[in-house]
Chains A and B, each alone.
Chain A
Amino acid sequence: MAKELIRLSDCVVKFDDEIILDRLNLYINDREFLTLLGPSGCGKTTTLRIIGGFLTPTSGDVFFDGQRINDVPPHKRLVNTVFQKYALFPHLNVFENVAFGLRIAKVSNDEVKQRVLEMLEIVNLKGFEKRPISALSGGQQQRVAIARALVNRPKVLLLDEPLGALDMRLRKDMQNELKRIQQELGITFIYVTHDQEEALAMSDTVVVMDGGRIQQIGTPEDIYNEPKNAFVADFIGESNILDGVMRADGVVELFNRRFQCLDGGFAPDEPVDVVIRPEDVDIVSEDQGQLKGVVTQVTFKGVHYDTIVDFSGFKWLIQTTDYCPVGSRIGIKIDPDGIHVMKKSAYSGMFGDYSSYSEEYDEIGDATMEPGGEDSGDEE
């Protein structure tokens, strides 16, 4: 039913012999909200630039609606971009910034006026037409950038970390706004972020990238529940990642104890990575536990406690609503559906151990964005 709109086929990008994108294969359906998710420097912007036409892949093809568009320049593509730093025109006011594309297309004055005002209303900037760009807050500039792109009624909107400079509350509001706009206008969104929560909350499809490669493509649920490797498991949410051995279909061995699980299809006695999400662990009394450990750290998080438990040297993160004081000995139980088995990968052993746990995961990756001067006064 969903029609394929864009396809990247074996796209490779090299800068000075350094491989930035490694054989990227990706297709994007019409009206889909697709998110490219990955740490800073993994090639998200580069991928967008290929689609926008600002970069020709070193090898590989780009298709739009079945046509190869490798050599089509940006101004001839039915794609508009919201740039990472907005790139608004400082010599034009809000109205003329938004009208830029329409003026180029020689749309009549009346229609320009009507469409720009309509779009400013959609992004909640009614009454700001005459303002110079410099007099806008980060959040407002960001919405001008969105309006400037959307007013051209593109088939596809590319958004490069558009909410990166906004504060937490405004970011949540804008996430909902964007989702609403996308559904209302029926436009394909290709959205770039390094914020996994944002990706899970907004997307139809999430593409997890690292090191210039796609690690996994799937729905937010797939990505969260069935991560393909240790990188994805660690990057999306919190995970304890353990070495295990698959003894049989549905039986995995951890710490020399056998656990039931739902996964199968591995070779007998194949070494595997096992993901256990912190919220899938039940704390029970020590004698009832499948594993026994000592609580080494407890942090109150509002809804739950982050509890670090030491199981003979390997530390787990467990999220529980039951308070267990530091030093107490506890047991844990894990249901079969709480255990997710993955094939070994290049990322095995790199993630998922909470031995050096600190509050690090609160705002991972936000360090790359400069703080945008946010006023909360006139934001809704």
Chain B
Amino acid sequence: MRNKSSRFAIPYVVWMAIFVVAPIILMVVYSVTSADGDVTAENFTGMGLYLSVFTRSFYLALIATVICLIIGYPVAYAMAKEGPRFQRLAMALIMLPMWINFLLRTYAWMSILENNGLLNQFFRAIGLLRLLGVDHLSLIRTQGAVVLGMVYNYLPFMILPIYSVLVKLDGSLMEAARDLGANGFHVFQKVVLPLSLPGVLSGVTMVFVPSVSTFAISRLLGGGTQMMLGDLIEQQFLGGSYDPHLGAAIAMVMMIVVVVCMAVMNHFGEGEEQAVML
């Protein structure tokens, strides 16, 4: 500890050591041992069984992230462009659902999407179901429902970082671009977009990581048909197939894949990141 103020960091360091570093070490230890305590690689070699869960997890998380980006960027852009009153209102609307418990929100989607849920009742009432000659539309227990749940829950984490970068963009840069002959599209393509990449990167990270590891959404909206990594890991610790060693190994692999993805992406956007820190 070089100076006095760094003493204030002690609680944080202790906290991190107990609740972040220690669990990771435990996880590593668990993943390379068997139930008898022998060191083994079996946990990893047996994982091929779950390849489909891995691919589904990353695939659905990727789709959710892309949709969040497609919706989130224009929203953030519009917010940053409007006046402060609109910004406050939009911010409140985006934050409001986050004050409601995550599970409650997801249960709400269940009752909307169910075979006898609000949407199907609505379709029935307007005669759409009769027109199609079906009893109900299968909305719940599909990949679409899972992706919808992820997008709904994580969209704010895409909007906010992009918004906070865009709102700080120096307006004179856009004027300079227009002065140099750029039309609206060129200004966006050559100035706004590259300068907002750091916000996009952190938005993508903040949506992708929780999406990959989500378990409640896939269980509630996927109805067990769309098992994802989170569910798989949960089963190893709490569920019927109790095997914390395998669970730790799966969690490890997932973590490594995510870290590698993020590292590649951050490397890709490094130049821009520096630029914004100016």
Contact = CB atoms under 8 A, between A and B. Distances in A.
Mostly, the A contact residues are mixed
Nearest to A100: B180
Contacts of B201: none
Contacts of B130: none
Interface string A220-258: 000000000000000000000000000000000000000
Given A87-B170, A134-B278, A74 B179 contact: yes
Centre residue among A87, A91, A133 by max chain B CB count within 10 A: A91
Contacts of B250: none
A149 B275 CA distance: 21
Interface residues of A, number: 26
A75 B278 contact: no
Interface string A74-96: 11000111010101111100000
Contacts, number: 69
Contact of A87 (B176, B274, B275, B278): B176
Centre residue among B172, B176, B194 by max chain A CB count within 10 A: B176
Interface stretch (B32-40, B97-105, B181-189): B181-189
A75 B195 CA distance: 21
Nearest to B193: A91
Given A90-B195, A91-B271, A100-B190, A105 B181 contact: yes
A90 B172 contact: no
Interface string A148-160: 1100100000000
Nearest to A49: B175
B161 to A, nearest CB: 18
Given A91-B195, A91-B271, A91-B275, A148 B180 contact: yes
A278 to B, nearest CB: 40
A83 B272 CA distance: 23
Interface string A99-134: 011011100000000000000000000000000111
A104 B184 CA distance: 12
A52 interface: yes
B194 A75 contact: no
Contact of B194 (A80, A81, A91): A91
Nearest to B171: A87
Contact of A104 (B170, B186, B278): B186
Given A54-B179, A83-B179, A104-B182, 14 more contacts: A54-B175, A74-B175, A74-B179, A75-B182, A81-B176, A83-B172, A83-B175, A91-B271, A91-B272, A105-B181, A132-B274, A133-B278, A148-B180, A152-B181
Interface of B: 170, 172-173, 175-183, 186, 190-191, 194-195, 271-272, 274-276, 278
20 contacts: A54-B179, A74-B178, A74-B179, A75-B180, A75-B182, A75-B183, A79-B179, A83-B172, A83-B175, A83-B179, A87-B172, A87-B173, A89-B177, A91-B275, A100-B177, A100-B180, A101-B181, A105-B181, A134-B278, A148-B180
Interface of A: 52, 54, 73-75, 79-81, 83, 85, 87-91, 100-101, 103-105, 132-134, 148-149, 152
